[in-house]
Structure formats: structure tokens, C-alpha cells
């Protein structure tokens, strides 16, 4: 699922994600900027809340002081007019009009509501108020507070709505209510003062913009400083990675440039010392390996001449053994058998030395792998009859053709089949050595399956080692030299193919040879599974049980 999602992403997104995964500097800078942004946001929010609270508290104090002054002036004017006969409506206007005029010059609005005790809804036009003011600006809870006589002065926040030129506009504000009694009718009225918070809103917006600008500059500064600091650390690491890659590619003379005496410089110095030590040891190993390969090659060539002489004498003795006494005849037979084995060992050593020297060449041709398998099985049949082992070949319906070196492929299969016969369970008609073939458009595969002793945990990683044996005390019925599988793997690699092993103790083993159908092609898969079908169900049962301690082993070396 994740792979499908990755393929659906655009190339730009994939490049960005790859850069994010590979760049420590980018992750450090991004993490620092994000954490700094969180801290700056929290500090900025706290500062804004404090500034807002301070502005509102100051404005409330000013508003309450101004309302007290207005109410005091209104009461003085009403007391001065208390001895005259005045119309109620006119006295209301005389009370409200001066306040409205002063409010127009000072930026606040006024609403006169009442008289209290009479159910006259304010929103239905009851009372006097500043022109253009919408009476919905007076909150209902404020009206409910002044629904009787003798209420104390109160204030709250509101939204002041005005209608000008047919368009409604609103600003946040503070409304203060206070009651006054008219001498003309002796009734109590409520004066509402509505003070807009436009200036405070502008101040808060200015502070917000200043904080945002400062935060942006601070984050840019933090990002730049983090980038510079991480660059001083990451750049030497990147240089060390590049030098390490060159060393891994065989350029052992590459070194880091050491400047200064800080920790990075000391790390570079230690890295160079390590590279020098590795270079010296690798050269020593190369020289030792070259001497070893040369020794094996020279000894193998030098032994062929005396071996030829000894072979001629052994052939004469072997042919004349009929006239010897039984002990001498048996000695002649043993000498002939051991000379055969020694000659095979020399041939294998010479072949290994050619692989080590890089002198092995491929002679590919388009062949039918079915024919090669049939030849190998026919040649191995006497050994199988001697061991009482059945050998079965499962051919596909269509021929399996590939461009391979038939001599080398036949040698690989001969090693695999003889090993399978040598390790199979003898005298068991229900079990057999099974050879399977399959192919597709790109690859051809051959598997050799036996049901013998199998491979213990960890042995599948060593079966292709030179001179390795799973049981050193076990006799070599097939006369192996210990180099067969090593040579077989080198032959497979020379084709650009795979030679893999699977095995479990007591359940046998399976070897799979996979070759490209066209010479020089690259392998991506195999037409046959490495784990045999008759072992999959048992593997699942073991894994599901309480004693799941033997893993399935796969090796591709």
C-alpha cells in the first residue's frame, strides 16, 4: 500500500520527501523554526491578551468617569428646572439634546428609555436616541437590568450598530446605563451611553501587526542562525560520507581535509587514520590473496606433470591387477580411485584460480535446458542406482531455452544433482530427488529438491564456501572435492544469474539456479519459488506452533 501511494505521488513531491529524509540540516532547521513559532505564538498571544485587557480596562475607567460627569451635569440641570412648569416631552428633550450634542462631538451615542414601570419596548421606538443609531445596540440583558426603579449604574460590552446612507455598520463598544428622575412627571428614566472601541481596536490591530512582523523577522533570524550552525556540523559529515563512499568504491587514497583543532577536526583526523589503517590492511590482504592464488595456480600446474607420470604407472598397475595377489590388487584399485579424486581436485583448483584471476570467460549459445538436464540426470543414474535413490524430472509443456554456456550450466547441475543424491534418503520410495524447470519472458530457473538430512540453521549461508562440509565425519560417496558448489556459484554469477539454497533440518534442501534468458540481461525475479511447495504448509504450522525456533534460510551470494 505504501509503495503504491509512493508511486502515485508527483516527482516533485517524491524529490521533496527524499530530500527531507536524507537532509539532517533541513530537519533541524524545520524543527527549530516550528518550535520557535510555537513559542513566539504563545508569547504573542499572551502579550496581545494583556494589551487588550489593559486597553479595555483603561477605556472602561474613562467611560465610567465621563458618564458620571454627564449624569452629574444632567441632575444639576434638572434640579435647576424643578420649580417651573415644564412639559414632559420638552423636559426629555432638554435633558437628552445637550448630551446628544456633546456625544456627537466626543464620539459616543445616547439613548433615553422609559419611563420605568411602563411596558414600552425600547426596540419599538420608545424614547429619544442619537440619530442613525440602531436600538438593537442596547443588549436585552442591559434592558432587563433596568426594568425597575432605583437600579445602580451598570455597564457591559456590546456591538454598536449604525445606519448611514442606507448601509449598516457595526463596531464593538461599551454601553453604560444610569437612571435619572424627571421633575415634570416624577418618573424614572434610563440613559444609555454607547462608547465605540474603534480607537482601541485600531491600537490592538497595530500591536498585532507589529508582533506579527517581529515574529516573522525573529523566525527568519532563527532559521538563518540554525542553518549556519547546522551547516558547520553537517558539512564535515557530508564530506566524510563522500570520502567513505569513495573508499568503498576502491579509491583508498582519499582523505578528509583537516583544519583547526576542534572536535570536528579531531574526528576528521581519526577518520583519516582509520582510512590509512584500512588501506594498509587491505593492501596486505590483497598481496596475501594474490600470493595465495598464485601459489594454488602454480602448484596445480606443477602437479599436473608428475600426476601424468603417476597416472601412467597407475594405469599399468590397474590393468595388470588380475595377476596380483588380493592385497596388491586392492592396493592398485585404491591407487586408481585416489588418483581420480586427486585429478578432479586439481581440475577444480585450476578452475577456481581462473575465477580468482578474472580469466574465466563465457561462451553463450541458445540451448534447450531440458536437454542439459536430461544429460545430467542420465549421467548421474548409476550413482542414484547405487544409492537406491529415485531421480524425477518435471519438464514444462514448452521447451526452456536460454542463451547460456552449456558446459558451465551442465557442471552446475551435475554438482547439484550429485549432491542431492548423496544427501537423499536411501531406500525410501516415497521420497525422490526432484528436478524442476520453468521459464518466463525474462528468466529460466531449475530447482533440485531432496528430502534428506537438510541444512541446520545457519548452514545455508555456508554451503557455497570452499571446502565446507555440513558433516565432516560423513563419507563422500560421490567423491566430491569440496569445491563443487563454490565453482557452481561462480559459474552462475558469470552468467549474471543466481544460485540460492534453502534447507531445514530433517526436511531436506532445495537449490535454485536462475539464469537470464538473454545473455547480459539483468535478473529481477525467478520463475520458480525457492521454498518448495511441500515445505510451505509445514513452515506455517511450525510458525503457528509454540516451538517456532527454526527459521527458513535463503541465501543469494
Range of the domain at 31: 23-80+200-248
Cis peptide upstream of residue 51 (ω within 30 degrees of 0): no
Question: Residue 30 pLDDT > 60, yes or no?
Answer: yes
Q: Which residue has the higher pLDDT, 36 or 81?
A: 36
Per-residue pLDDT reduced to its tens digit, 431-449? 788 999 998 888 999 999 9
- Asked whether 509 and 450 are in contact (CB, 8 A), the reply is yes
Cα dihedral 277, 283, 289, 292, rounded to 10, equals: -110
453-478: average pLDDT:
68
Q: For residue 38, give the H/E element and its range.
A: helix 24-80
182-197: average pLDDT:
82
- Which residues make Cβ contacts (< 8 Å) with residue 450, sequence separation at least 6? 420, 421, 423, 424, 433, 508, 509, 510
Question: Residue 84 pLDDT > 60, yes or no?
Answer: no
Confidence band for 470, pLDDT divided at 50, 70 and 90: low
Into how many domains does the chain fold?
4
Going from the C-alpha of 132 to that of each of 112, 165, 342, 452, the distances in angstroms are 14, 9, 119, 104
**Same structural domain, 373 and 479:** yes
Q: What does the block give as the cell for 328?
A: 596388491
CA 450 to chain centre: 41
**Same structural domain, 57 and 93:** no
Question: Residue 422 pLDDT > 80, yes or no?
Answer: yes
Q: Average model confidence (pLDDT) for the chain?
A: 80
Confidence band for 473, pLDDT divided at 50, 70 and 90: very low
Looking at residue 539, what is its pLDDT? Answer: 43
On whether residue 16 sits in a domain, the answer given is no
Please tell me whether residue 413 adopts helix, strand or coil conformation: helix
Q: Which residue has the higher pLDDT, 285 or 297?
A: 285
**Same structural domain, 294 and 385:** no
Please tell me whether residue 444 adopts helix, strand or coil conformation: strand
**Same structural domain, 61 and 150:** no
- Asked whether 230 and 24 are in contact (CB, 8 A), the reply is yes
H-assigned helices in 116-262: 140-145, 198-248
Q: How far apart are CA 423 and CA 284, in angstroms?
A: 40
Pairing state of beta strands 443-450 and 401-404? unpaired
- Asked whether 436 and 449 are in contact (CB, 8 A), the reply is yes
CATH number of the structural domain spanning residue 315: 1.10.287.130
Q: How far apart are CA 39 and CA 45, in angstroms?
A: 10
Q: How far apart are CA 450 and CA 422, in angstroms?
A: 10
Which of 168, 196, 224 terminates a domain? The answer is 196
Neighbouring CB atoms inside 10 A of 82's CB total 12
**Same structural domain, 212 and 283:** no
482-491: average pLDDT:
83
Question: Residue 536 pLDDT > 70, yes or no?
Answer: no
Residue 254's Cβ-count burial label (10 Å; 0-12, 13-18, 19+) is middle
pTM, to two decimals: 0.50
- Asked whether 413 and 513 are in contact (CB, 8 A), the reply is yes
Please tell me whether residue 437 adopts helix, strand or coil conformation: strand
**Same structural domain, 392 and 345:** no
Neighbouring CB atoms inside 10 A of 100's CB total 21
Per-residue pLDDT reduced to its tens digit, 216-271? 999 999 999 999 988 888 888 888 888 888 888 878 788 887 877 777 788 888 88
Q: Which residue has the higher pLDDT, 106 or 9?
A: 106
Residue 257's Cβ-count burial label (10 Å; 0-12, 13-18, 19+) is exposed
Q: Which residue has the higher pLDDT, 551 or 453?
A: 453
- Asked whether 111 and 191 are in contact (CB, 8 A), the reply is yes
**Same structural domain, 497 and 407:** yes
Q: Which residue has the higher pLDDT, 163 or 220?
A: 220
Which range in 98-107, 240-249, 433-442, 484-493 is most confidently predicted, on average pLDDT? Answer: 433-442
Which of 210, 233, 248 terminates a domain? The answer is 248
CATH number of the structural domain spanning residue 171: 3.30.450
Nearest to 196, CA basis, from 52, 61, 63: 63
Confidence band for 211, pLDDT divided at 50, 70 and 90: very high
Looking at residue 545, what is its pLDDT? Answer: 29
Residues 284-307 as b/e (b if ≥16 CB within 10 A, e otherwise) read eeeeeeeeebeeebeebeebeeeb
* Least confident span in 224-228, 274-278, 454-458, 477-481: 477-481
Cα dihedral 285, 290, 291, 296, rounded to 10, equals: 120
On whether residue 17 sits in a domain, the answer given is no
On whether residue 525 sits in a domain, the answer given is yes
Q: What does the block give as the cell for 63?
A: 467611560
Q: Which residue has the higher pLDDT, 328 or 22?
A: 328
**Same structural domain, 398 and 500:** yes
Question: Residue 6 pLDDT > 80, yes or no?
Answer: no
Looking at residue 150, what is its pLDDT? Answer: 79
Looking at residue 538, what is its pLDDT? Answer: 46
On whether residue 18 sits in a domain, the answer given is no
On whether residue 10 sits in a domain, the answer given is no
Nearest to 132, CA basis, from 93, 171, 89, 88: 171
Residue by residue, DSSP assigns 451-486 as: -SS---TTGGGTTTSTT--S-TTS--TT---S-HHH
**Same structural domain, 394 and 294:** no
Question: Residue 29 pLDDT > 70, yes or no?
Answer: yes
Q: What does the block give as the cell for 59?
A: 477605556
Looking at residue 45, what is its pLDDT? Answer: 93
CATH number of the structural domain spanning residue 512: 3.30.565.10
On whether residue 460 sits in a domain, the answer given is yes
CA 447 to chain centre: 36
Residue by residue, DSSP assigns 369-400 as: HHHHHHHHHHHHHHHHHHHT--EEEE--SS--
334-355: average pLDDT:
76
Looking at residue 343, what is its pLDDT? Answer: 75
282-307: average pLDDT:
72
Q: For residue 402, give the H/E element and its range.
A: strand 401-404
Looking at residue 54, what is its pLDDT? Answer: 92
* Least confident span in 53-57, 103-107, 527-531: 103-107
**Same structural domain, 59 and 92:** no
On whether residue 12 sits in a domain, the answer given is no
**Same structural domain, 280 and 407:** no
**Same structural domain, 306 and 164:** no
Q: Give counts: helices (H), strands (E), the chain.
A: 12, 13
Question: Residue 549 pLDDT > 50, yes or no?
Answer: no
Reduced 3-state DSSP string for 179-196: EEECCCCCCEEEEEEEEE
- DSSP category for residue 424: S
On whether residue 340 sits in a domain, the answer given is yes
Q: What percent of the chain has pLDDT over 70?
A: 83
Looking at residue 429, what is its pLDDT? Answer: 59
- Asked whether 447 and 420 are in contact (CB, 8 A), the reply is no
277-286: average pLDDT:
82
Looking at residue 354, what is its pLDDT? Answer: 72
Amino acid at each position: 500500500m505504501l509503495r503504491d501511494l509512493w508511486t502515485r505521488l508527483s516527482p516533485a513531491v517524491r524529490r521533496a520527501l527524499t530530500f527531507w529524509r536524507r537532509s539532517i540540516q533541513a530537519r533541524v532547521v524545520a524543527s527549530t523554526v516550528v518550535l520557535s513559532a510555537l513559542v513566539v505564538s504563545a508569547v504573542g498571544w499572551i502579550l496581545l491578551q494583556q494589551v487588550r485587557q489593559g486597553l479595555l480596562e483603561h477605556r472602561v475607567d474613562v467611560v465610567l468617569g465621563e458618564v458620571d460627569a454627564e449624569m452629574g451635569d444632567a441632575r444639576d440641570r434638572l434640579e435647576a428646572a424643578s420649580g417651573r412648569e415644564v412639559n414632559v416631552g420638552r423636559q426629555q428633550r432638554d435633558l437628552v439634546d445637550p448630551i446628544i450634542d456633546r456625544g456627537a462631538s466626543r464620539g459616543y451615542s445616547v439613548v433615553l428609555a422609559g419611563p420605568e414601570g411602563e411596558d414600552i419596548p425600547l426596540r419599538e421606538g420608545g424614547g429619544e436616541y442619537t440619530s442613525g443609531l440602531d436600538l438593537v445596540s442596547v443588549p436585552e440583558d442591559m434592558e432587563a437590568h433596568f426594568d425597575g426603579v432605583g437600579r445602580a449604574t451598570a455597564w457591559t460590552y456590546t456591538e454598536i450598530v449604525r445606519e448611514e446612507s442606507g448601509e449598516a455598520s457595526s463596531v464593538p463598544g461599551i454601553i453604560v446605563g444610569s437612571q435619572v428622575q424627571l421633575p415634570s412627571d416624577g418618573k424614572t428614566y434610563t440613559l444609555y451611553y454607547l462608547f465605540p472601541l474603534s480607537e482601541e481596536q485600531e491600537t490592538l490591530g497595530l500591536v498585532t501587526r507589529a508582533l506579527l512582523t517581529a515574529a516573522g523577522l525573529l523566525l527568519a533570524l532563527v532559521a538563518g542562525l540554525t542553518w549556519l550552525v547546522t551547516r558547520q556540523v553537517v558539512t564535515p559529515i557530508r564530506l566524510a560520507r563522500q570520502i567513505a563512499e569513495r573508499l568503498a568504491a576502491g579509491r583508498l587514497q582519499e582523505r578528509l581535509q583537516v583544519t583547526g583543532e576542534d572536535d570536528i577536526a579531531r574526528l576528521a583526523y581519526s577518520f583519516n587514520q582509520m582510512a590509512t589503517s584500512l588501506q594498509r590492511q587491505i593492501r596486505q590482504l590483497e598481496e596475501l590473496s594474490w600470493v595465495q592464488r598464485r601459489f594454488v595456480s602454480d602448484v596445480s600446474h606443477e602437479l599436473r606433470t608428475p600426476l601424468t607420470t603417476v597416472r601412467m604407472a597407475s594405469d599399468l598397475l590397474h590393468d595388470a591387477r588380475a595377476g596380483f595377489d588380493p592385497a596388491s590388487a586392492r592396493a592398485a584399485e585404491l591407487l586408481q580411485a585416489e588418483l581420480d579424486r586427486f585429478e578432479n581436485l586439481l581440475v577444480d583448483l585450476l578452475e577456481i584460480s581462473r575465477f580468482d584471476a578474472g580469466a574465466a570467460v563465457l561462451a553463450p549459445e541458445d540451448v534447450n535446458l531440458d536437454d542439459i538436464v536430461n544429460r545430467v540426470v542420465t549421467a548421474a543414474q548409476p550413482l542414484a542406482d547405487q544409492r537406491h535413490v529415485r531421480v524425477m524430472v518435471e519438464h514444462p509443456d514448452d521447451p526452456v531455452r536460454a542463451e547460456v554456456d552449456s558446459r558451465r550450466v551442465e557442471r552446475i547441475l551435475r554438482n547439484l544433482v550429485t549432491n542431492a543424491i548423496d544427501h537423499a534418503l536411501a531406500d525410501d520410495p516415497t521420497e525422490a530427488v526432484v528436478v524442476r524447470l520453468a521459464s518466463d519472458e525474462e528468466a529460466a530457473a531449475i530447482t533440485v529438491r531432496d528430502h534428506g538430512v537438510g541444512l541446520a540453521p545457519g548452514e545455508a549461508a555456508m554451503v557455497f564456501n570452499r571446502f565446507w562440509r555440513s558433516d565432516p565425519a560423513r563419507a563422500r560417496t560421490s567423491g566430491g572435492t569440496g569445491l563443487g558448489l563454490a565453482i557452481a556459484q561462480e559459474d552462475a554469477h558469470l552468467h549474471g544469474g543466481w544460485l540460492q539454497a534453502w534447507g531445514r533440518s530433517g526436511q531436506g534442501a532445495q537449490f535454485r539456479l536462475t539464469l537470464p534468458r538473454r545473455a547480459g540481461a539483468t535478473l529481477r525475479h525467478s520463475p520458480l519459488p525457492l521454498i518448495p511447495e511441500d515445505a510451505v504448509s509445514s513452515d506455517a504450522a511450525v510458525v503457528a506452533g509454540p516451538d517456532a525456533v527454526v527459521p527458513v534460510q535463503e541465501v543469494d551470494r
